[in-house]
Amino acid sequence: MRAAHKITVPDTWGLPQASFDVERIRNDFPILKQQVHGKPLVYLDMAQNSNVHRGVHFLSEKATQAYEDARDTVRQFLNAADTHEIIFVRGTTEAINLVAQSYGRTFLTASDEIVISAMEHHSNIGPWQILCEQIGARLRIIPFNYDGELLLDEYEKLLNERTKFVAVVHVSNALGTINPIKQIIEMAHRRGIPVLVDGAQAVPHMRVDVQDLDCDFYAFSGHKLFGPTGIGVLYGKADLLEAMPPYQGGGDMISAVTFEKTHYNTLPYKFEAGTPDIAGVIGLGVAIDYLSEIGLDAITAYEHELLAYATDALSTIKGVRIIGTAREKAGVLSFVLDGIHAHDIGTILDHEGIAIRAGHHCAMPVMQRFGVPATARASLAFYNTKEEVDALIRAIHKVIEVFG
Ligand SMILES: Cc1ncc(COP(=O)(O)O)c(C=O)c1O
């Protein structure tokens, strides 16, 4: 006969047990004091933590609503045709990896070529190199001139019947160049080649309309848009996303699972496996609302004037060489000083309270093209002022005094 089931409690080893003051602990969770449908909330869903798309209770539905509202905010921000073309990912890097692995491994083969540019951030180089190693495809590179402008006639020559994908940055983080992305897309589309645009540095500075650009994929990160880190967006045309297999498996991306077969969920959930960064998504939506309130066109105009002012001021300093002098630029002033390492510039500026970036900016091929190991880079936003540019110029004079 089986013994009656007995609940055992953990052995306390004879030590006196601390009293457990649940009422005091409940004060640490103010949400427990709220009413739901006129009744005190009894929260018994700690296993899911009000996850989106899964719960039937009030808080879970509230989270789902806020999450999906943010998706529509992003859709409007990019002027995408439909919310299901907006996929939440960790950032630009993950968006590009998703396309390289899902689209690339499905539709490209060993005889194919992928075209990127020589001014890509490493996040738009690495994923394609990994893909090329996996499938044996070849990476081709669009060169740029000494001002940092892509050579479109060279690009034209690279496009051929083997070219199956183009991935190009909209605005270069190292040079500030605004690429003629619409023309780049048109040139590829004339041959039926899909195009991914790395928009990480474009979205904070200018209005982006994915339908007008007619890009096939557009990637950006929340944290460059004054939103949280660890959240980003992949826009993709619905027909392409529909045709692509999931990038990761897990919860939320399935509609039915047996051990024989898993049926994938519809867009966009097919590409959002696991619990998403719900707080990050909602934060991104708030950041976009904030930008939209100021107005992207007003931001572009203000920053343009500030960049022109800063460029003029910097050009007057003897020994300064500006890296990136394209006619169309946004928000970035990369420069080197004769005989002074970029890190030394960064350190002196830091002591003056001025934060710039010194390094290769995750764009080593750009540094190689200009024959420098690193640059000092001031990147401007709409909150900067001419007085702050003046402070930068004064501090650069100080750097020259110290090291010159
Ligand atoms: C042009 C460009 N692309 C991609 C990235 C990568 O973005 P993340 O690290 O948010 O994925 C950056 C980041 O600096 C960037 O400037």
- Closest residue CA from atom 13 of ligand 1: 200
pLDDT in tens, 74-118: 999 999 999 999 999 999 999 999 999 999 999 999 999 999 999
The 3-state secondary structure of 306-368, one letter per residue:
HHHHHHHHHHCCCCEEEECCCCCECCEEEEEECCECHHHHHHHHHHCCCCCEEECCCCHHHHH
Ligand 1 contact via 198 beta carbon (within 6 Å) = yes
Q: Comparing 13-17, 289-293, 381-385, 392-396, which segment has the lowest mean pLDDT?
A: 13-17
62 C-alpha to ligand 1 centroid (Å): 31
Find which of 11-25, 133-147, 245-259 is predicted with most confidence, using mean pLDDT.
133-147
- The rounded percent of the chain whose pLDDT value lies above 70 is 96
Nearest-atom number in ligand 1 for the CA of 172 is 1
200 pocket-lining for ligand 1 (C-beta < 6 Å):
yes
Task: Evaluate: CB of 51 within 6 angstroms of ligand 1.
Answer: no
| pLDDT higher than threshold 80 for residue 17 | no
For residue 4, pLDDT over 60 is answered with: no
CA 199–ligand 1 middle distance (angstroms): 9
How confident is the model over 227-245, as a mean pLDDT?
98
Ligand 1 centre and the CA of 315: distance in Å?
28
Ligand 1 centroid, distance to 200 Cα (angstroms): 5
Query: What mean pLDDT value characterizes the chain?
Result: 94
Task: For ligand 1, say whether the CB of 97 is within 6 Å of any of its atoms.
Answer: no
- What per-residue confidence (pLDDT) applies to 1? 47
CB of residue 179 inside a 6 A radius of ligand 1: no
User: To test ligand 1's pocket by mutation, which of 175, 181, 201, 277 has the most ligand atoms within 8 angstroms of CB?
Assistant: 201
User: Residue 93: CB within 6 Å of ligand 1?
Assistant: yes
Query: Atom 12 in ligand 1: which residue has the minimum CA distance?
Result: 200
Task: Provide the whole-model pTM.
Answer: 0.94
285 Cβ neighbours under 8 A, 6+ residues apart: 66, 69, 70, 73, 74
Q: Which residues participate in catalysis according to the annotation?
A: 362
pLDDT band at 261 (very low <50, low <70, confident <90, very high): confident
pLDDT of 260 reads 87
Mean pLDDT is lowest, of 154-163, 258-267, 291-300, for 258-267
The residue-averaged pLDDT of 296-309 equals 98
- Pocket probe for ligand 1: among 97, 206, 221, the residue whose CB has the most ligand atoms within 8 Å is 221
